[in-house]
Every structure is written in structure tokens, then in C-alpha cells.
Amino acid sequence: MNIPSIKVMLVDDHPMVQDGLSACLSFYDDIQIVGTCNDGSQALSTAQACQPDVILMDISMPTLNGLDATEIITEVLTDTKILIFSMHESAEFVTNAVQSGASGYILKDTNSEEVYQAIKSVAQGKAYFSSSIAKMLIDNPPTQASPRLTAREQMILSYIAKGQSSKAIAQTLDISFRTVEAHRRNIKSKLNIDSLAELVRYAVNQGLVDS
């Protein structure tokens, strides 16, 4: 029994769900709940404090939803895997989750045995999707006809449009300069735009920032 246990953190705005799930997972010896928090906006600091291997992340939460939180956490904690644990059963959520950097997606009515399996798979670096989700992805493979900016990219675009430099943005968001620059490149390639002036014009035209 010397297998190192998987450190799991739960992010869910319903303490009762956390308690119920914790109770179930406590029966598995190789899983250890290292932290919980109730909102996406506290997820990063909690994760930084308890360094989990896997985060079980709910989507619908009061101030910052799980998908946006996922993007922010994976930016900083590259070794932490995120497993979305949500009530939403539609392909768009799954596609968005994958785009945000989640490694798996399970539904909240999944039984605890499967939750356990999912945590283990994700911890090993594999992707895991509930069977109904997997079926949905096979039936309707995500189309990438029009590239979509992620929430984080969109936020950075709005800062760029407001005239902030990459350095200033890095400071504001408390991320590295290189991450901002990477986002910037992604935004430009997704929107097929080369110059800063065009980026700004695009953001204003789309109503992202108030002109």
C-alpha cells in the first residue's frame, strides 16, 4: 500500500455535494481530499496552497464559473489536471471545457465508482469523459469552423484594446509576461489579425470595449 495517493481538490459552491462526494471518495485509499472551495474565484489561491494533482471543478458558480477558473489555473499550475464535474450535459460545455484546458468531463450524477476511475485516469495524464458525454462527442464532433476566443483570451483582448501593454496585463492578471504574449499570439492567429491597430479596431467593432 505504498502507492502515493492522488491529491484531490473539490471546487463546488454546494457544500452538501462536496460532503457527499467526499464521503464516497473516502472509501478509496489512494485518494486524498486535500482542499475544497466554493467558488471559481478562490480556486487558484486554494490550489496554489494545497498543490492538488486533480481538481474536481463544478461549472455553475456565483462569481467565476468553472470553465474560466480552469483556464486561469492551467495557465499557472501546469501539472494540475482538471476534471469538470458538472450538471450540464451539452456538447458546448464539453467543447468549452476542453478548450479551457480541462482533462476530463463527468456528470454530477455519475456514480462514485466512475468518479474514482475518472480521477485516476486524469491523474495519469489521460482524458476522461462520462460515457454519455463520450457518446455525445462521437455523435457530434466539435466543429471548429469558426475559431472562438476563450474567456481568458477575450479578457486579454479587451485589455489590449484599452491600450494596456503585455507587461501591464501580466501585472494586472498576476501571470507571466510570456503567458500574456502567448495569449496574444493565439488571439492574433485565431482572428487572423496581424497588427495591434487592427486588434483594437476589431475589439471596438465587436462591442467588446466601449468605443
Partner 1 sequence: MTFSFRIQLFAVTQVILTAFLTYFFVTNEYRDLSEQNVTALESFLLEQKQQELKNYTAIAKASIQHIYAGAAADDPVAQKQVADILSTLIYNGHDGYFFVYDDKGTNIVLPTEPYRVGQNYWDLRNEQGDPIIQILIDKAKSGGDFYRYPWNQPSTETVTEKLSFSDFLPKWGWMMGTGVYLDNVNQQLVTIQSAIDTHINNTRFIILFVAMSSIFVIFGIGAILHFTQKKENDKQIDQLGQKIVTLQEEEQRHISRELHDGIVQVLVSIKYSLEATCKHLGKHDIPKPQPLQQAQTNLSNAITEIRRISHHLHPRILDELGLSAAMEALAKEFTERTNIDVTITKPALSKLLPDHINTTLYRVVQEALMNIEKHAQATHTSIDLAIIDNWLTLTIKDNGVGMLKANLENPSESGIGTRNLAERVEYHRGQFMLTSSSKGTVMTAKIPRSAFAYHYTQQQIDNPTTETV
Contact 8, 56 (CB under 8 A): yes
> Among residues 19, 30, 194, 198, which is the contact residue for partner 1, using CB under 8 A?
19
63 binding partner 1? (CB under 8 A): yes
Q: Dump the DSSP string for 162-201.
A: TT--HHHHHHHHT--HHHHHHHHHHHHHHHT--SHHHHHH
Q: Rounded to an integer, what distance in angstroms lies between the CA atom of residue 136 and that of residue 149?
A: 23
- Angle 86-24-34 from CA coordinates, rounded to 5°: 80
209 binding partner 1? (CB under 8 A): yes
* Overall size of the chain counted in residues: 211
48 binding partner 1? (CB under 8 A): no
72 binding partner 1? (CB under 8 A): yes
135 binding partner 1? (CB under 8 A): no
Which stretch in 30-38, 57-65, 119-127, 176-184 sits in contact with partner 1 by CB under 8 A?
57-65
Task: For residue 188, give every residue at least 6 positions away whose Cβ sits within 8 Å of its Cβ, in sequence order, or none.
Answer: 194, 199
Residues at the contact surface with partner 1, assessed by CB under 8 A: 12-14, 16-17, 19-21, 23-24, 26-27, 40-41, 43-45, 59-60, 63-65, 67-69, 72, 87-93, 96, 108-109, 111-112, 140, 145-149, 151, 154-155, 157-158, 172-174, 190-191, 205-211
